[in-house]
Structure 1
Amino acid sequence: MALRVIGIDPGLTRCGIGVVDVGADRRAALVHVSVVRTPPGMPLEERLRLIGESIDAVIAQFSPQQLALERVFAQLNVSTVMGTAQASGVAMYVAAQRGLSVTLHTPTEVKLAITGYGGADKKQVGAMVARVLRLAEAPKPADAADACALAVCAAWKGVAPRADRADSASEPGTATVSSLTPAQEAWRSAEKSVGARRLKL
């Protein structure tokens, strides 16, 4: 059964929303993508209400099982980080109201999951989102692609590999064929590396 995740790229002016399905084989499919736009001249409380209602409407329509959100980091631009944090709070509130679990992901974590490289730029992320979701082009604007990337990242972490995608062959010298993309393989390798380090602690 597929895991359905809604990804939110939080922002006051543009808030990206992406919903994806990921199967047991970790293949992802786009269900919905959109961007909520609010004008800077609108009162803050009205901007947040519009963002919250839009996220809630998507959840009501597509019934995701989980919400993935970008973790907010401090930036030099205080007004930008404040707006991002406020939009994030609204998204988490809506998720709680709908009974959805929320996972937070750093930009580096998402880039590593999608592209295999934590320093990838937005163009590279968009290109890999299109490839992973088998789209002709990346969702636009970048906020939409980022929301899809968040959803895929969270879904890949939540979907266990199938037994027939074993990491090693059952017989010595037997090659294992994997259907994972290079980005997925990089993500699984990173997960194993972190797990191994934790065991040594």
Structure 2
Amino acid sequence: MTIHKEGYGIIRTFFLILAILDVILYFAFGTGLLLNILLFLSLAFFLLIVSFFRVPKRVPVVGDNLVMAPADGKVVVIEETVELEYLKDRRIQVSIFMSPLNVHINWYPINGVIKYFKHHSGLFLKAWLPKSSTDNERTTIVIEKDSKTTILMRQIAGAVARRIVSYAKEGESVNQCQQEGFIKFGSRVDLYLPLDTKIEVELNQEVTGSQTIIGRLNE
């Protein structure tokens, strides 16, 4: 396991803050059981922060007609809806909620070309709420696989997540399971897929980014 580059600054900051607090606690309480408990809690919290930015070793699952999970987490939405920002047609929406304990890297679900990218400022509602798709801070990425197949991927910040990182650039060719970005501290990713996509996941199913097949495109 390695540490994601998006975590370097935060990890350094928390290390310095906790180190200063530990020194203050030492002079305040001296040695003893109470100090040992506080130091243990400080270490546990620091390790939790470090683990949040972990990069697991995975062999990506790829396939030309496959839509791969763009994130780790739980499937909280599978429904037919209308995508109004770019596609402006009916789609199957599949949403994955990422808890603070999940790996928070995001991956491209298919091969293709980035046709559209936009960052939207917004609120920080709880990420599993339906309104978070349109009201929260978010990014929208449209990937065109070919002239017949286009999907939309949306990163959504949650009540705890306060920063979305996306590496997407309009006009860029991307590969399935290539890193697309990172969302810090709890979030959600939505996919808007063609109606004839065969969905391979169920509500409340735990999925793994770059490993779990979300659906199969009808080609």
Is TM-score (shorter-chain normalized) higher than 0.5? no
TM (normalized to structure 2)?
0.23
TM (normalized to structure 1)?
0.25
Which structure's residues are more often strand, by fraction?
A: 2
Report which of the two structures shows the higher radius of gyration computed on alpha carbons: 2
Which structure's residues are more often helix, by fraction?
A: 1
